[in-house]
Amino acid sequence: MPELPDITVYVEALTARIVGQPVERITLKSPFLLRTVEPPIALAQGRTVRGIRRLGKRIVFDLGDELYLVLHLMIAGRLKWLARGAKPPGKIGLAVLDFPGGSLVLTEAGSKRRASLHFVQGAEGIRAQDRGGLEVLDAELPAFAARLRSESHTLKRALTDPRLFSGIGNAYSDEALHAARLSPLTLTGRLSEDEVDRLYRACRETLLQWTDRLRREAGTGFPEKVTAFREGMAVHGRFRLPCPVCGSPVQRIRYAENETNYCVRCQTGGRLLADRGLSRLLKGDWPRSLDEVE
């Protein structure tokens, strides 16, 4: 799922291309994409884009008169910028927004249609799209600490909960926790003041560094390689590859459609974290430390 750095770079690229431009036509190729009925989407056509901003992991198009298009890419949604008249992708193309200077195309790989488009009006319509998560890059340490400890969760769960923190998902939570040298399964209420401070700084540095890196990679072009698995990441998507800090093989915990990647030596004091499915199968044969699997 595109997270804060990816969405930020998308917003910047779109701002340079379509702010001040009219939405000439909206073509919806999937009946499942549009999740609202009122106001009718036809009202968006012909309106000039006044601004574009990020709202958590959503992209908000301000069309003036308190009318907004709110796009959530979910896991597999991606954006493409094509020249006018260029043929959009076939099966994976869900929507096309035509502007004088080009066409914005929404694609979604796979058979599950999770990406969503809402057309809303007024402050209340926007508030309904806001999950309420704290913007870590705008927050001071006390606000971060208070939000982190407001509910009892594992650190992984807390960082990826959009009601608690805005724009952080599976990938950058892994990277931030590795940078902070903290286990993803540590409970929020058990952190010391020093550990909270380390996590706060690691979250900010991770998001800022990756936003800057993705911005440089895109340059003046449109972001094309938006993925959760990037060269240069420390642990995310690097199962069994060496940790860049200590060289130990990166481990993972799988659950549902997600996974958590972590370094045993840097984050858990050498202790393997139990994968619920595999550890239940192996029972007493489940290894308890990295030494047992190396």
211 and 75 inside one domain? no
Are residues 172 and 111 part of one domain? no
Last residue of a domain, one of 105, 127, 149: 127
Torsion sign across C-alpha atoms 16, 19, 21, 25: positive
- 143 and 274 co-located in one domain: yes
Query: Would you state the pLDDT for residue 292?
Result: 32
pLDDT at site 103: 96
Instruction: State how far the Cα of 94 lies from the Cα of 127, in Å rounded to an integer.
Output: 25
Output the six-digit token pair for 38. Answer: 């009122």
- Domain edge (last residue) among 79, 102, 127: 127
Q: Which domain CATH number covers 185?
A: 1.10.8.50
Assess whether 120 and 252 both reside in one domain: no
205 and 281 inside one domain: yes
Encoded amino acid at 122, one letter: G
CB neighbour class for 124 (10 Å; exposed up to 12, middle 13-18, buried from 19): exposed
SS (H, E, C) 127-193: HCCCCCCECHHHCCHHHHHHHHCCCCCEHHHHHHCCCCECCCCHHHHHHHHHHHCCCCCCEHHHCCH
Indicate the number of domains in the chain. 2
User: Within this chain, do residues 104 and 152 fall inside the same structural domain, yes or no?
Assistant: no
Report pLDDT for 256: 65
Owning domain of residue 202:
136-292
Same domain, 31 and 98: yes
* pLDDT at res. 293: 33
Contact 69, 63 (CB under 8 A): yes
Looking at the fold, whether 121 and 143 belong to one and the same domain comes out as no
- Which one of 78, 93, 127 terminates a domain? 127
Query: Do 144 and 271 have their domain in common?
Result: yes
Q: Are residues 156 and 46 in the same domain?
A: no
Q: What is the mean pLDDT of each run of 10 residues along the chain (294 residues)?
A: 96 98 95 94 97 98 98 95 87 93 94 92 96 97 98 94 96 97 96 98 98 96 90 95 97 83 96 66 38 36
Q: What is the side-by-side strand order in the sheet with 67-72?
A: 51-55, 58-62, 67-72, 116-121
CATH assignment at residue 24? 3.20.190.10
pTM above 0.85, yes or no: yes
Q: What is the DSSP letter of 245?
A: T
Asked if 165 and 286 sit in the same domain, the reply is yes
Q: What is the pLDDT of residue 229?
A: 87
The predicted pLDDT at position 5 comes to 97
> Do 51 and 197 sit in the same domain of this protein?
no
| Residue 292, both tokens | 């047992």
What pLDDT is stored for residue 76 in this prediction?
Answer: 92
∠ Cα 34 36 37 (to 5°): 110
